[in-house]
Amino acid sequence: MLKRDNYSLAQNIRSLGILDYSILDGMVDWVRVVDKENNIIYANKPMRKVLGNDIVGKKCYEMLDNEEKCEFCICNRTLLSGEIIQKEQTINGRYYSVKSSPLVNSEDEIIASVEVFRDVTRERRLELELIDKNKKMIDDLEFAKRIQERILPRKGFVQNIKIDYIYKASGLLSGDMFDIFYIDDENIGIYISDVAGHGVAASMMTMFIRQTMRSIKDDILSPSVVLTELHRRFSVLGLEPDKYFTIFYGVYNKNNHTFKFANAGHNCIPIKYNDNRLELLEIKGHPITLLFDEIQYEERYVKLNKHDRILLYTDGITEAKDSKGNEFGVEGVIDIIKEDPMDLLAEIDNRIIQHNWGDQKDDFALVLMEVLK
């Protein structure tokens, strides 16, 4: 029951034209007026229809089945400071955005607080559903990241070859991939590839490359023929023309110490070096793309002697840019090789971190193979 003083205040608000109750009754949102003693002196028709006519005269917090004032009472803050304050409130399992505004008389005195309750349940539930789906997606991406990292070859020794590498994705997943594998008792295959783009689509392509290369290697020894077959199998997928990748593939024969190689558009030319000499393993070749129906690749070979090394890398290294837009370039890599640091890969990684302007923009991979005997 509304007390006489409160009833008078409610009537004065109506009579003075401070609020038009008929307009408020026609609103979809709930509206209530609360006096300085936290009494509800008015509730519009939509609010009364759901919560009952008896809410008028109750304390504002009693409407929420609370025996004491809310811990964060926007009504009191509005009455004291005149601020317009907003918070979110749950009522009967639904979410409401509540905005409290001061109501002033002709002397500019705050006499009450007007609170508007907007039902945002649909939006909030969609938001919570989106958060849940995003969490699941992130969990899935984290799992895919672990898989992608764990299928990389082990660091260490493959026959008389020592392998070391650094592998960094610009996001959770990478479009760079490399692998080293036994072909037979004499031959070891090694490749590095770079898929156009980043993220899930690029990482899925790396899985195709890895699986296909490991299935081809047992039947074909020639690197150039392997890349032609890889292009053929990629074409069968029928993907969009903007999907493509580059790959450099070599085969090392431990008996005659030759390293045969072919290149499908990988513009980060591997670097062969030792204490006395440095050589870029240059050879032409188109990327693996649907723009060409059939591609034949060139093939070269070099001799690899004891302690010869080959550095393979992706364009996340050479295209790293500083604050002025200058790329690190292959020259930056060669300069570090000539310095002969104790740990070449770690030194390149550190220089790239120093050179980069802002966060890492692209995936990158560094792979170092060394002939031990």
Phi, psi of 334 (to 5 degrees): -60, -40
For residues 182 and 11, give the distance between their C-alpha atoms in angstroms, rounded to a whole number: 92
Beta-carbon contacts of residue 319 (< 8 Å; ≥ 6 apart): 327, 328, 362
Which helix (H) or strand (E) is 189 found in, with range? strand 187-195
What CATH class does 4-119 carry? alpha beta
Amino acid 8: pLDDT:
62
pLDDT tens-place string over residues 62-85: 877 676 777 778 888 998 999 999
Domain spans of the chain, in order of start: 4-119, 123-148, 151-371
Q: How far apart are CA 342 and CA 357, in angstroms?
A: 26
Superfamily for domain range 151-371:
PPM-type phosphatase domain (3.60.40.10)
The pLDDT of residue 199: 80
Q: Which long-range contacts (CB under 8 A, 24 or more apart) does 219-223 make?
A: 221/183, 221/187, 221/251, 222/251, 222/260, 222/299, 223/249, 223/250, 223/251, 223/260, 223/261, 223/262, 223/297, 223/299
- Model-level pTM? 0.71
Which residue ranges of the chain lie beneath pLDDT 50? Answer: 1-2, 4, 16
- Integer CA distances (angstroms), 208 to 153, 201, 243, 244, 365, in order: 16, 11, 13, 12, 18
Q: Residues 135, 143, 209, CA angle at the centre, nearest 5°?
A: 130
